Amino acid sequence: MRDMRLATLPVAVAALFGFGVFAFLQIAEEVSEAELGQFDRWLLLAFRTPGDMADPIGPPWLEEFMIELTALGGYPLLTLIVLAVAGFLVVSERYGPALYTILSIVLGTSLSHGLKLLYDRPRPDLVEQLVSVQTPSFPSGHASMSAVVYLTLATVIIRFVDSMAVRAYVLVVALLLTLGIGVSRVYLGVHWPSDVAAGWAFGVSWACLAWLVVTGLRAWRQGPSGS
């Protein structure tokens, strides 16, 4: 049973990668053709008090919570987390996972930023933005990089544990962080919902691709000795 799960895992990850790429391209096409404008406006306004576009729904503590939550997807904090984890892996003499972590996240960050410059979509001006932003809007960097970073770190942690319960817990936490950070960007008025959806699609597909590449290289290196 365990061998069957191991054999089907790359297929499932490859399918998820393909779905992520397809979803991103579809969203990007519809954004370029302005086909998501009505949906974007409707969902963005759903997070604001009717009649007051400067006031997000919910009590004051919810706004403060969302501002703190969105910081978990910012480059400064993500950089510190990645460096801390990579440093732990290095001092533990796990050089392969450390290199995998750094390369996957640095390359994913670079590509995400490049896509922002390529599409150059303006930030929402429909509601007041509750945090300061300067970069283009599409895809959401917080959504994409939280998916890249937290899912990549989750796959690294999962490698060192055998318990399925622990693996499921780590993966669920990574997914919840990614989802929460993305929602916070819409709540704070700094992204259209389609920006966030595209960011999630990019981040998930990139994390899957990185895992597939490393898994393939590991299998190729172990092939001759195992035959």
- Report how far residue 92's alpha carbon sits from residue 115's, in angstroms, rounded to the nearest whole number: 35
pLDDT of residue 53: 78
Task: Encode pLDDT of 135-146 as tens digits.
Answer: 888 999 999 999
Point out the residues that are catalytic. 142, 191
Residue 68's pLDDT is what? Answer: 93
Strand partners, 118: none
Q: Residue 227: what pLDDT? A: 42
In terms of Cβ atoms closer than 10 Å to its own Cβ (0-12, 13-18, 19+), residue 174 is: buried
Domain map (residue ranges) of the chain: 2-48+60-220
| SS3 at position 129 | coil
- C-alpha 94 chain-centroid distance: 24
Q: Which of 190, 34, 67 is nearest to 123 (CA)?
A: 190
% of the chain exceeding 70 in pLDDT: 94
Start-to-end CA distance of the chain, whole Å, equals 22
3-state secondary structure at position 54: strand
pLDDT at residue 225 greater than cutoff 90: no
Q: Which two structure tokens, joined as six digits, stand for 111? A: 């590509």
Within the chain, strands assigned E span: 48-49, 52-56
Which tens digits make up the pLDDT trace of 10-59?
888 899 999 999 999 999 999 888 888 888 999 999 999 888 778 888 89
Mean pLDDT of the chain: 88
Mean pLDDT of 171-175: 94
In this structure, the dihedral spanned by the alpha carbons of residues 86, 2, 210 and 207, taken in order and rounded to 10 degrees, is -80
